[in-house]
């Protein structure tokens, strides 16, 4: 082999090696960029999709509760896919409660510390809580202090008849229950009661809403917006404290009626 041929052979070898190293480096850099930026974004999108699915699931469960409470359906069951977190039953006897409601006037107590309990979804990333409580679906972001009501309960005021109707729904279960993955939520109406209370003119009926420790599933802002904006209650105390008092929209210049319906839902499985 001549000297010139030997030099050309060495040059070809070096060129192939450099080309391989360049391609390998680009491949590793691409994999690194995907791992660094793409994978967290993909996981974030998956978490968002799981939460959106659970929002729809909670609306389905709310409709099941409505069927049990208002349509006298004895039993409901729904299959759910619970992804990215867990669904847990908190009984009405659980402490602390999601909130407590009392209804009274200056001399009479109509409801003394009603505890609703709830059916709660908590995401694994600890970003979001979704709760089915007292007939409403509410959502809170743990990174902030706010909450929002995704689906309202069935409370209403009839101004023509001067009648206020309040539905109170509590959850109980036979045991501590929680589920992730595929689950079957089975519910039955355990008990119910009905009270129609005459409210004389000049009587002011008040509702006390007491929220729990703000670090433990506080949905008070969602309920405050519902009470004041939808039901048109008047806030009588500052929203800064744990207990907020509201005046029911009953017209105090004439006789009225307060209707209180209570439903106890037994959750048999999740």
Q: So what's the pLDDT on residue 6?
A: 45
**What integer pLDDT is reported at residue 13 of this predicted model?**
52
- As for how many domains the chain has, the answer is 1
How far, in Å, CA of 78 to CA of 39, rounded?
33
Cis peptide bond upstream of 146, omega within 30? no
Residue 7 located in a structural domain: no
Query: Does any domain span residue 196?
Result: yes
Summarised one tens digit per residue, pLDDT across range 76-104 is 999 888 887 889 999 988 767 789 999 99
Residue 255 placed within a domain = yes
Question: Within 13 A of 217's CA, how many CA atoms are on the CB side?
Answer: 20
- What average pLDDT does the segment 222-243 reach? 87
Q: What is the pTM of this model?
A: 0.80
Q: Count of H helices and E strands in the chain?
A: 3, 14
Spatial neighbors of 256 by CB under 8 A, at least 6 apart, are 162, 163, 164, 198, 199, 201, 250
Domain that holds residue 110: 53-269
Question: Does residue 100 sit within a domain?
Answer: yes
- Is residue 20 situated within a structural domain? no
Separation of CA 211 from chain center = 15
């Amino acid at each position: 082999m001549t000297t010139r041929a030997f030099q050309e052979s060495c040059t070809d070898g070096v060129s192939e090696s450099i080309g391989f190293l360049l391609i390998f480096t680009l491949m590793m850099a691409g994999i690194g960029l995907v791992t660094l930026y793409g994978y967290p974004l993909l996981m974030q999108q998956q978490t968002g999709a799981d939460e959106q699915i659970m929002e729809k699931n909670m609306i389905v469960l709310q409709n099941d509760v409505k069927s049990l409470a208002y349509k006298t359906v004895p039993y409901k069951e729904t299959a759910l896919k619970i992804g990215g977190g867990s669904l847990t039953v908190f009984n009405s006897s659980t402490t602390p409660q999601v909130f407590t409601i009392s209804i009274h006037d200056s001399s009479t107590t109509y409801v003394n510390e009603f505890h609703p309990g709830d059916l709660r979804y908590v995401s694994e990333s600890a970003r979001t809580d979704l709760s089915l409580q007292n007939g409403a679906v509410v959502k809170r972001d743990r990174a902030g202090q706010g909450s929002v009501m995704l689906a309202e309960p069935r409370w209403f005021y009839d101004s023509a008849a001067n009648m206020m109707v309040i539905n109170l729904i509590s959850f109980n279960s036979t045991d501590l229950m929680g589920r992730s993955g595929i689950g079957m939520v089975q519910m039955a109406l355990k008990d119910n009661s009905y009270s129609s209370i005459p409210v004389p003119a000049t009587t002011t009926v008040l509702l006390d809403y007491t929220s729990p420790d703000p670090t433990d599933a506080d949905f008070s802002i969602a309920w405050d917006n519902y009470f004041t904006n939808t039901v048109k209650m008047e806030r009588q105390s500052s929203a800064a404290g744990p207990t907020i008092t509201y005046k029911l929209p009953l017209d105090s210049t004439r006789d009225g009626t307060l209707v209180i319906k209570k439903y106890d839902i037994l959750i048999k499985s999740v």
